[in-house]
Chain A
Amino acid sequence: MSVDIYKINPEFRSIMPKDIIDLEDNATWHATAEKNRGISDLTDKKEILEEHSLCAGCPEAAALRYILTALPIPEDTIIVNSTGCTSLMFPHIALHTVHSLFGNQNAVASGIKRTLDWRFPDTIKDVIVLAGDGATIDIGLDYTLQSFFRQEKITTICFDNEVYANTGGQESGSTPKGQVFKMAPKGKVFDKVPMWELAVTSGCQYSVKLTASAPKKVAKVLREAVLIARELGPTYIHLYTPCILEIGLAANEGLWEMKEQDKDRFDSFRYVSPEAEEYLKECKAKGIL
């Protein structure tokens, strides 16, 4: 059924906007794609993200495009969002998405996932959380960690821009020590919260920290995380998507900043539980990875 919800009633086709028609004709859906979806689709396929209203050059936008294009089964994927810059893009995602409150994303996602498992026991329904660092690590930390403790089968993605961007640049728990931001006029006094490590001790089957500098890498990590969450339990992706506005970079400097941080605060961290490692091997053998 799911991919059918993108079909346009033939009676209305002539009055439909082009992007909606393209969604039916030229987007890659799992049910209709000949090969695994991925970054290469960005060149000639219809993306399931339309125009957005983030700052020009914001790496969050690029990162979201990589993620959406790599979803294993977009037509059966639900993404739960939180308040913040990311929520400016959510209306433009052609999937069933939710914005509920600031910080409750993992709780909402838990309810959705459990209900979908109950209502559709024989259909894969992937549930993903995508939220900022403030949402994931500060105001929503309890709900993030508790969903890990409970082994909810969801993937949590944190778009870490190391700041409360949407409210104008305040210090967050994810801001590096010493950084001067609003509400930390003398510089932040405590260390960046190592959320990727907390994810491991809290029961995630998979926790990876990276920047959005390399599209293919982001796509691979996303795919692994979703596949593992589906079978084994919670997975976590900590992604650096710098707020170029708040750190004073130009629209074309985000990539450079991410490349810098690949060697510094966002040097690669990857934890895969032994069960998940085994499972990834199986996925490779089956050709779904």
Chain B
Amino acid sequence: MTLRSQMTAEKNWAGQTMVTADHMLFEAPREKHFMTGSEVVKEAMKRCTVDASVSYPITPQSEAAHLIGELWAEGYIGTYFRGENEFGVMSEVAGCAMAGARTVTTTSGPGTLRAMENFPMWAGTRIPCQLILMARGINSPLTIQPDNLEVSFMLETGCMIWYAENVQELFDMTIAAFIVAEKPDVHVPIVTVVDGFFVSHTRESVMLPADDIALFPYDPYAAPLPPIDSEMPPGRFLRDPFVMKSNYISYATHASWQWEVRSAAERSRPYAKHFLKGLVHSVGDEDAEVVFVSCGTASHQSKEANRELTKLGIKSKVVKLRTIRPFPTAELLEATKNAKYIFVPEFNVTGWLHNEVLQALYGKSEATVVGKPRVAGGMSMPVEVILKEVGNFVKIEQGA
């Protein structure tokens, strides 16, 4: 049986040498592997000195959750079990994190919505747990297809939201996520999103550091709120805001605390900038008039459109958003300052990212913002569909 007490100053309980996040992410030598998003989640969590995980099956995240379970069986994770449903799981995760555990879970679509009441509670409780979200459509009718509508429901929960494009980013991002979420001046939950199937089930080459190194463990005693373990003063407090003494105290506490939760997420910016190497990544022509703003798989497809447009003699640029909460407003403004047409390709019916972009650019940009192409319910986004939208605004000479 693995015991936490087996940990030494150099080695964690699994015998891995503990290293800083900078070493893990930027310095440690890497080797090439070929694996799916689900498999890379296992590799990332293996290197994170994770205390606790709770799981529940739902396609397409089940495999990642199984593999985290294997890590527990192999002695890398302290405690792991299958919960009763996603509402229960997210509450169990909350319990683990409150009691001082570095905690991870995974879910998708209907699971996210089943659990919804928990997410603002997580944020309000200032627990730095990580939810790896492998986006899938939301019923009804029944669907298991890739679609990221569920992310729109997460936007105002107070949790940070990051979005990875591919298997490599999923690896690096889920490691960085713990580090940033656990910063004492941040200390809010983090949701790392990938598009289900497109990333969870796609095998790609990835560069990974050796698996005999891992992050230093989470230190609950550096948290802005004491962990629930009876070891930390004061011996008299309430974990969440007062609702009972008077209406005045109640609203004052609740109001200020809600601002503070959002401010805490804001304070993650410099850390995220460092560990993600920028909140947005741009490729293409710096001064292009055609700009795609996107996240996840839509960025991948936008890059393909960028290559095709280059062949056709049209300059374009892709601005990939890596963080959604906090929203990279300044970076987006800078990256789109020369844009005449901004396209926001998305994998959902409502265009939540389009709305986010409109809000960020309102009154600050002259560009025409086009919330297209938009595919949903499992449709793919072939490059032709993107080019067609561009063609509605920019003359594309076929065969050029």
Report the bound CA distance from A121 to B98 in whole Å. Answer: 17
Q: Which residues of A contact B87 (CB under 8 A)?
A: 104, 107
Q: Please determine whether A97 and B244 come into contact, CB atoms closer than 8 angstroms.
A: no
Q: Please determine whether B91 and A143 come into contact, CB atoms closer than 8 angstroms.
A: yes
Binds A, one of B233-241, B274-282, B380-388, B391-399: B233-241
Set A80, A97, A114, A118: member contacting B4, Cβ < 8 A: A118
A216 within 8 A of B: no
Q: Please determine whether A114 and B52 come into contact, CB atoms closer than 8 angstroms.
A: yes
Report the bound CA distance from A143 to B125 in whole Å. Answer: 20
Q: Please determine whether A125 and B88 come into contact, CB atoms closer than 8 angstroms.
A: no
Q: Which residues of B contact A95 (CB under 8 A)?
A: 230, 235
Binds B, one of A85-93, A197-205, A255-263: A85-93
- Mark interface residues in B70-87 (1 if CB within 8 Å of A CB, else 0): 000000001101011101
Q: Please determine whether A115 and B117 come into contact, CB atoms closer than 8 angstroms.
A: no
Report the bound CA distance from A97 to B240 in whole Å. Answer: 10
Q: Please determine whether A98 and B91 come into contact, CB atoms closer than 8 angstroms.
A: no
Set A101, A113, A118, A121: member contacting B91, Cβ < 8 A: A101
Set B88, B91, B230, B233: member contacting A76, Cβ < 8 A: B230
- CB closest residue in chain B, given A78: B228
B232 within 8 A of A: yes
Report the bound CA distance from A95 to B233 in whole Å. Answer: 10
- CB closest residue in chain A, given B84: A146
Q: Which residues of B contact A101 (CB under 8 A)?
A: 91, 117-118, 121
Q: Which of B195-248 contact A (CB under 8 A)?
A: 226, 228-240, 242-245
Set A5, A7, A53: member contacting B231, Cβ < 8 A: A5
Nearest-neighbour CB distance to chain A for B219, whole angstroms, equals 12
B51 within 8 A of A: yes
Q: Please determine whether B235 and A114 come into contact, CB atoms closer than 8 angstroms.
A: no
Q: What is the interface size of chain B, counting residues whose CB is below 8 A from a CB of the partner? A: 49
A45 within 8 A of B: no
Report the bound CA distance from A98 to B226 in whole Å. Answer: 12
Nearest-neighbour CB distance to chain B for A45, whole angstroms, equals 16
Q: Please determine whether B88 and A146 come into contact, CB atoms closer than 8 angstroms.
A: yes
Q: Which residues of A contact B167 (CB under 8 A)?
A: none
Q: Please determine whether B234 and A115 come into contact, CB atoms closer than 8 angstroms.
A: no
B256 within 8 A of A: no
B21 within 8 A of A: no
- CB closest residue in chain B, given A117: B79
Q: Which residues of B contact A249 (CB under 8 A)?
A: none
- Mark interface residues in B95-114 (1 if CB within 8 Å of A CB, else 0): 11111110100000000000
B169 within 8 A of A: no
Q: Please determine whether B230 and A112 come into contact, CB atoms closer than 8 angstroms.
A: no
Q: Which of A25-46 contact B (CB under 8 A)?
A: none
Set B94, B238, B242, B244: member contacting A108, Cβ < 8 A: B94
A2 within 8 A of B: yes
Q: Please determine whether B52 and A118 come into contact, CB atoms closer than 8 angstroms.
A: yes
Set A6, A119, A125: member contacting B235, Cβ < 8 A: A6
Which of B99, B103, B237, B240 is most buried by chain A, counting CB atoms within 10 A of its CB? B99
Q: Which residues of B contact A117 (CB under 8 A)?
A: 79
- Mark interface residues in B1-12 (1 if CB within 8 Å of A CB, else 0): 001110000000
Q: Which residues of B contact A107 (CB under 8 A)?
A: 83-84, 87-89, 91-92, 95
B93 within 8 A of A: yes
Nearest-neighbour CB distance to chain B for A98, whole angstroms, equals 5
B188 within 8 A of A: no
B261 within 8 A of A: no
Q: Please determine whether A112 and B236 come into contact, CB atoms closer than 8 angstroms.
A: no
Q: Please determine whether B99 and A5 come into contact, CB atoms closer than 8 angstroms.
A: no
Q: Which residues of B contact A80 (CB under 8 A)?
A: 95
A226 within 8 A of B: no
Q: Please determine whether B235 and A5 come into contact, CB atoms closer than 8 angstroms.
A: yes
B54 within 8 A of A: yes
Q: Please determine whether A20 and B99 come into contact, CB atoms closer than 8 angstroms.
A: no
Q: Please determine whether B230 and A111 come into contact, CB atoms closer than 8 angstroms.
A: no
Report the bound CA distance from A9 to B240 in whole Å. Answer: 25
Q: Please determine whether A115 and B121 come into contact, CB atoms closer than 8 angstroms.
A: no
A110 within 8 A of B: yes
Nearest-neighbour CB distance to chain B for A73, whole angstroms, equals 9
Q: Which residues of B contact A2 (CB under 8 A)?
A: 230-231
Known pairs A78-B228, A117-B79; A143 contacts B98 (CB<8 A): no
Q: Please determine whether A97 and B239 come into contact, CB atoms closer than 8 angstroms.
A: yes
Q: Please determine whether B230 and A77 come into contact, CB atoms closer than 8 angstroms.
A: yes
Q: Which residues of A contact B103 (CB under 8 A)?
A: 111
Q: Which residues of A contact B51 (CB under 8 A)?
A: 115, 118-119
Report the bound CA distance from A145 to B159 in whole Å. Answer: 30
Nearest-neighbour CB distance to chain A for B214, whole angstroms, equals 16
Set B3, B100, B238, B245: member contacting A115, Cβ < 8 A: B100
Nearest-neighbour CB distance to chain A for B4, whole angstroms, equals 6
Q: Which residues of A contact B83 (CB under 8 A)?
A: 107, 146
Report the bound CA distance from A5 to B81 in whole Å. Answer: 32
A230 within 8 A of B: no
Q: Which residues of A contact B5 (CB under 8 A)?
A: 121-122
Q: Which residues of B contact A146 (CB under 8 A)?
A: 83-84, 88
- CB closest residue in chain B, given A91: B238
Q: Which residues of B contact A120 (CB under 8 A)?
A: 229
Report the bound CA distance from A125 to B95 in whole Å. Answer: 14
Q: Please determine whether B230 and A75 come into contact, CB atoms closer than 8 angstroms.
A: yes
Q: Which residues of B contact A193 (CB under 8 A)?
A: none
Q: What are 9 A-B residue pairs whose CB atoms fall within 8 Å in the complex?
A: A6-B233, A91-B238, A96-B230, A97-B239, A100-B121, A107-B91, A110-B92, A115-B52, A146-B84
Closest 8 CB pairs of A and B: A111-B95, A107-B91, A115-B99, A104-B91, A111-B96, A146-B84, A111-B92, A108-B95
Having A5-B234, A100-B240, A150-B81, one finds 13 other A-B pairs with CB under 8 Å, namely A6-B233, A87-B244, A99-B239, A108-B95, A111-B93, A111-B94, A111-B96, A112-B228, A113-B95, A114-B52, A118-B79, A119-B100, A143-B91
Residues of A in contact with B (beta carbons under 8 Å apart): 1-2, 4-7, 20, 23, 53, 75-78, 80, 87-88, 90-91, 94-101, 104, 107-122, 125, 142-143, 146, 150
